[in-house]
Chains A and B, each alone.
Chain A
Amino acid sequence: MEIREPGRPFPETGLTGFIAAWIAGWGRLAIEVFVAVGEFSLFVWRTMIWMVTRFPRAETLWPNFHQVGVASLPVVALTGTFIGMVLAVQSYFQFRQLGLETRLGGVINLTLLRELGPVLAATMLAGRVGSSMAAELGTMRVTEQIDALTAMGANPIRYLVVPRFLACFLLIPALTIMADFMGVAGGHFYSVIVLGIDMHHYWYNSAQFVTVFDLLVGLFKSFFFGSAISLISCYQGFNCTAGAEGVGRAATASFVYSFVAILVLDLFLGIALDSIYFTWYPEGTRTL
């Protein structure tokens, strides 16, 4: 959309001029944000419509599933393992001072499943998968490949966006399970094997504090994270400006916006899921 250069009915110098320019600046920003939100919403809407009206072909799906799912496994597993071990390192001394080191199992595994597993796996994937999607689609936009697709009667949303959305929506939760598992293993390794905490009590406490609801909370959130990463990255790629600089900016913006979206979604989903939890279990089941 075109933003009209405003006329200059107000003085340009002096305090009034400064205030007028300040207001005009905010007005311009407000319009830009409004337009961007509107365009993004339309982009999401069109993606959803194409997904339900004509399912993409297998040959466009599998490469994306491989790229998002299989190729990300090592890096997600590594992230998970280290989060588990770092949690053990960080909390051990505080808990030891209180003589509660066997409670580490509960703390590590609960934090992992509810928060750090999903959030850090999604962050890692926003960097690995999201940026590469934005850069790839941005390059396609700049080199007219998206125009070529359209000119040959293919819809770029159906052909490029829907497969990437489905890959992220379905596989980021799967990768989150992997990150959770590796985190639990990493936490166990550091706590039980390196720090020598009694294994029986470590796992007994884990079983006391961690419920299936916690696992599902993390997984539920990761569906939203996956959707946000794919939609933001594809949108950035589609609206890439010309040149290498434009592609670079699209890749960076896709990560930054995805990361912000992950944090914001995490907060609001956390609040919403907690209220559901306390509606179902008014007394709560935990005593930590």
Chain B
Amino acid sequence: MIEQLMETQQPLVELGGVNVGFGGQSVLRQIDLKIPAGQTLCLLGESGCGKTVLMKTIIGLVQPQSGRVLFDGVNIDTLGEREISRMRLRFGFVFQNAALFDSMTIAQNVAFPLRQDGRFSNAQIRELVLSRLNQVGLPNNVVYKKPAELSGGMRKRVGLARALVMNPEVILYDEPTTGLDPIMTDIINQLIIRTRRKNPVTSIIVTHNMETARTVPDRVVMLYPVWRLEPGEPQIIYDGPPEGMDQCRDRRVRQFVRGEAGQRLMELVSDQPDAEW
């Protein structure tokens, strides 16, 4: 079904041969990815394999060393500073630790993209901010608080409200449920599903939570750290529906899905003879 979708539609986001590295260390190697509009894609992979970097590359926060990133058919490398700013307003980014502005109140934080857009009156902004905060289950009295006064879970939800406030076409979730209790995790999962049901939004979710990976997306892409790969091996080790992960022929995919340490235990220094601390 996914193949059919991809063939019939022009992808909304397209990465072609993207290479990204920092300080001589390669993080993303030859990434090819096409994401059609309306798809919910889950990016999986162990810590440090480049999932967040991939999301930041899509929105132009990280420059690829080579390769191209296309959004809606336009190479973002060719856009000027203003055009790329306008393009970014079509995205919503939920940051790992919410990344709320400390110096602003919750209301100012959520209103920020609306003010940046400049087309909304104060009354509209107030109404939208309150409705988005209620949508993520936050009471009206949080609006005057500063981010430091809220709990981690509440901050995450404010981050979500801020990303949703502009009704973006693409929402990038960077570990939206990490550090949350199981109930809150389920609430966030349901929120992502409901948002998609209400609007034909394209979502890319980076997560370590297998429950999220199994229930929320309609496509899963798994990355493997470049430094563990053989030369010439592709970095994407799985690309398919969430149901197929358990039966995947690649042992590394099954190992990740089941959360088995396996021979990685050998990497622990304490298991090796004559280890000195």
Contact = CB atoms under 8 A, between A and B. Distances in A.
B160 interface: no
A98 interface: no
A150 B61 contact: yes
Interface in B31-86: 56, 59, 61, 81, 85-86
A152 interface: yes
B234 interface: no
Given A2-B24, A5-B24, A151 B61 contact: yes
Interface in A139-194: 139-140, 143-145, 147-155
B227 to A, nearest CB: 15
Given A153-B86, A153-B88, A145 B116 contact: no
Given A151-B88, A153-B85, A153-B88, A144 B95 contact: yes
A148 B101 contact: yes
Nearest to B60: A150
A4 interface: yes
A148 B116 contact: no
Contacts of B61: 147, 150-151
A153 B117 contact: yes
Contacts of A145: 99-102
Interface string B76-117: 000001000110110101011101111100000000110011
Given A2-B23, A147-B61, A152 B99 contact: no
B241 interface: no
Nearest to B103: A63
A155 B85 contact: yes
A212 interface: no
A153 B99 contact: no
B21 interface: yes
Interface in B248-275: none
A177 B117 CA distance: 41
16 contacts: A143-B99, A145-B100, A147-B93, A148-B93, A148-B100, A148-B101, A151-B61, A151-B88, A152-B112, A152-B113, A153-B85, A153-B86, A153-B89, A153-B116, A154-B112, A154-B116
Interface of A: 2-5, 63, 139-140, 143-145, 147-155
Pairs A-B, 9 closest by C-beta atoms: A148-B99, A144-B99, A151-B93, A153-B85, A153-B89, A153-B88, A152-B113, A144-B95, A2-B24
Given A154-B85, A154-B112, A154-B116, 17 more contacts: A3-B24, A4-B24, A63-B103, A140-B102, A143-B99, A144-B95, A144-B96, A145-B102, A147-B56, A147-B61, A151-B93, A152-B88, A152-B162, A153-B86, A153-B113, A153-B116, A155-B85
